[in-house]
């Protein structure tokens, strides 16, 4: 790899385009770490937020009123407040109230929940609140005629739910769910604000040291677009794989 | 007219929409209870003898904090306005039968939709010039105007996507029957597709506005003097006591909640009203 590094160093001397995160060993190491942390944050929060969404949408259908009300309250609270303030509130506000624990490896007192964990927690709850609504409206958007038809064919309520409503509801929810998950991946960089060393934070450190703001900005944009594009490709594949002819817009119309 | 939903004994999974009115009141109550609980708990934690109470601190700084909040709202309205003005034509161009036009519009939309808002904000604030000279006329470009551009670009792309999504979500039968009735494409779009789209677009458009409003606090990261920046300054002015952080941030949460909650409820109402059930 050394020739590549040398080439980029020389590239900087020739053109003034300073890509320290490629040729400088220290910057390269922290950039790789930051990139992985962003991927980790994305995957963990996607999984957790979908779980929150499924669980919440399911709880909203129970007969227990207080439970339904609690889910509704959770959804409105997290949907209607800024995620950045939520992160601050969790990390600074609540983090301060939690006790510190002894870290056996270093022998020092550390916070019970680290900033990375707070970021995961608050981002999952934020995106999860949206997912609950998405799954619910997906279920509600199933045409009544479908239910009517199934009913007249002698399906029981349970059968209608599992065989007619749910499969269609998943397809109804997919575009909105995809949007929300894409937004979530792009929102993981809010963790920057509480010093989680992810892609954005590392880039800021590098451009502070090497004063290559422009290069880092363009790199960040490309990096996130690649990450998001990967997710979009996966979601599009999923949408196509689940497509039913005649339901929704047909291709080429 | 008796709808199927009304005639039929409510199925368990249709319960939510049937009891919508009741659950709305319930939601309101729950939300209020949750917020009050958050607020009172954090305030109680912060209250200790000798120091001024958290409530007096919040009341003292309210004018400043609320001024910051108004600034957030101004940024959100300007961004959304600009984003919509450019986003609607961009969305319509994406469904154009002229391939290259559709492709370019699609590319622009995808690019700005995929770029993270925080990165877009950083780019606009750090790389745009602080003033523009046009024919010897100097137009200053303060940070908050750059922030507005930073929010307007993703808003534009998302509006475009909403428009496109609404247009293609109109059942293909509508396009086909319009065509067979002899409508030209323009007539079809203007008279058949768009009227149905506006109803479909309004709720997601309002959701987007809500998201933009929530994102305006990100401007604090790049140093715009909005509510969250002012909150940090108030915290410093009060001696940086860590126990003040929770109530101070709770105060911001409450402000945004009071503003965004009615919008969200109105959106839900419109969604229900415009629901096309066949």
> How far does A53 lie from chain B, in Å, by closest CA?
16
Q: Is B131 an 8 Å CB contact of chain A?
A: no
> How far does B214 lie from chain A, in Å, by closest CA?
4
Question: Bridge partners of B131?
Answer: B140
Any idea which residue has 């009544």 for tokens?
A: A144
Taking residues A123-131, what's their average pLDDT? Answer: 94
Mean pLDDT for chain A overall:
87
B17 pLDDT above the threshold of 50: no
Shortest CB distance from B256 goes to which of A81, A141, A183?
A81
Quick one: tokens of B166?
Answer: 């609404």
A195 pLDDT above the threshold of 60: yes
Alpha-carbon span B191 to B168, nearest angstrom: 15
B75 pLDDT above the threshold of 90: yes
> Can you tell me the ipTM of this complex?
0.80
A131 pLDDT above the threshold of 60: yes
The residues near A98 (Cβ < 8 Å, ≥ 6 apart) are A111, A112, A113
B137 pLDDT above the threshold of 50: yes
B11 pLDDT above the threshold of 50: no
In DSSP notation, chain A reads -HHHHHHHHHHHHHH----HHHH-HHHHHHHHHHHHHHHHHHHHHHHHHHHHHHHHHHHTTSS-HHHHHHHHHHHHHHHSS-HHHHHHIIIIIIHHHSPEEE-TTT-SEEESS-HHHHHHHHHHHHHHHHHHHHHHHHHHTS-HHHHHHHHHTT--HHHIIIIIIHHHHHHHHHHHHHHHHHHHHHHGGGGGGGT--SHHHHHHHHHHHH--HHHHHHHHHHHHHHHHHHHHHHHHHHHHHT--TTSSPPTT-
Domains and CATH numbers, chain B: 23-261 (1.10.3720.10)
Question: Which residue did the predictor score with more confidence, B97 or A120?
Answer: A120
Split at pLDDT 50, 70, 90, the class of B25 is: low
B93 three-class SS: helix
A174 pLDDT above the threshold of 50: yes
Q: Is B125 an 8 Å CB contact of chain A?
A: no
B219 pLDDT above the threshold of 90: yes
> How far does B87 lie from chain A, in Å, by closest CA?
17
Q: Is B253 an 8 Å CB contact of chain A?
A: yes
Mean pLDDT for chain B overall:
82
Alpha-carbon span A78 to A94, nearest angstrom: 16
Backbone torsion region of residue B53, taken as left when φ is above 0, otherwise alpha when ψ lies between -120 and 50, otherwise beta? beta
Domains and CATH numbers, chain A: 2-241 (1.10.3720.10)
Burial of residue B3, with CB atoms counted within 10 A of its CB: 0-12 exposed, 13-18 middle, 19 or more buried: exposed
Q: What is the pTM of this model?
A: 0.80
Alpha-carbon span B268 to B261, nearest angstrom: 11
Q: Work out how many CB contacts closer than 8 A connect A with B.
A: 181
Q: Which residues in chain A touch residue B111, judged by CB atoms under 8 angstroms apart?
A: 225
Residue contact B29–A69, C-beta within 8 A: yes
Alpha-carbon span A75 to A60, nearest angstrom: 11
Residue contact B221–A139, C-beta within 8 A: no
Taking residues B75-96, what's their average pLDDT? Answer: 93
């Amino acid at each position: 790899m050394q020739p590549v590094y040398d080439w980029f160093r020389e590239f900087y001397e020739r053109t003034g385009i300073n890509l320290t995160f490629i040729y400088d060993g220290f910057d390269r190491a922290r950039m790789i770490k930051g990139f992985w942390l962003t991927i980790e944050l994305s995957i963990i929060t996607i999984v957790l937020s979908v779980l929150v969404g499924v669980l919440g949408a399911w709880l909203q259908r129970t007969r227990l009123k207080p439970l339904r009300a609690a889910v509704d309250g959770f959804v409105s609270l997290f949907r209607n407040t800024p995620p950045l303030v939520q992160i601050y509130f969790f990390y600074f506000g609540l983090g301060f109230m939690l006790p510190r624990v002894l870290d056996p490896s270093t022998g020092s007192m550390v916070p019970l929940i680290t900033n990375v964990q707070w970021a995961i927690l608050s981002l999952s709850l934020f995106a999860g609140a949206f997912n609950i609504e998405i799954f619910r409206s997906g279920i509600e958007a199933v045409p009544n005629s479908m239910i009517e038809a199934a009913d007249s064919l002698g399906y029981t309520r349970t059968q209608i739910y599992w065989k007619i409503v749910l499969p269609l509801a998943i397809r109804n929810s997919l575009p909105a769910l995809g949007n929300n998950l894409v937004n979530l991946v792009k929102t993981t960089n809010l963790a920057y604000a509480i010093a989680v060393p992810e892609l954005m934070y590392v880039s800021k450190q590098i451009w502070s040291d090497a004063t290559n703001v422009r290069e880092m900005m363009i790199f960040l944009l490309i990096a996130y677009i690649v990450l998001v594009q990967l997710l979009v490709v996966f979601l599009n594949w999923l949408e196509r794989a689940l497509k039913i002819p005649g339901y929704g817009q047909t291709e080429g119309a | 007219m008796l709808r199927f939903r009304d005639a039929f004994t409510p199925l368990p999974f249709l319960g939510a929409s049937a009891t919508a009115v009741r659950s709305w009141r319930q939601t309101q109550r729950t939300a209020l209870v949750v917020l009050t609980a958050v607020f009172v708990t954090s305030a109680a934690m912060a209250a200790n003898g000798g120091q001024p109470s958290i409530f007096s601190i919040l009341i003292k700084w309210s004018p400043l904090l609320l001024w910051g909040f108004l600034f957030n709202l101004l940024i959100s309205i300007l961004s959304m306005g600009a984003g919509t003005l450019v986003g609607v034509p961009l969305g319509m161009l994406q469904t154009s039968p002229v391939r290259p036009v559709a492709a370019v519009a699609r590319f622009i939309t995808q690019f700005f939709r995929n770029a993270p808002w925080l990165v877009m904000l950083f780019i606009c604030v750090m790389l745009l010039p602080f003033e523009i000279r046009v024919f010897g006329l100097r137009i200053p470009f303060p940070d908050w105007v750059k922030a507005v551009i930073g929010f307007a670009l993703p808003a534009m792309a998302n509006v475009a996507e909403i428009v496109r999504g609404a247009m293609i979500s109109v059942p293909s039968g509508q396009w086909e029957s319009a065509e067979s009735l002899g409508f030209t494409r323009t007539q079809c779009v203007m008279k058949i597709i768009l009227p149905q789209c506006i109803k479909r677009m309004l709720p997601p458009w309002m959701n987007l506005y809500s998201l933009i409003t929530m994102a305006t606090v990100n401007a604090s990261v790049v140093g715009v003097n909005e509510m969250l920046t002012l909150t940090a300054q108030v915290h410093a002015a009060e001696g940086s006591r860590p126990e003040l952080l929770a109530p101070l941030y709770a105060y911001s949460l409450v402000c945004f909640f009071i503003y965004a909650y009615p919008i969200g409820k109105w959106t839900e109402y419109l969604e229900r009203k415009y629901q096309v059930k066949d």
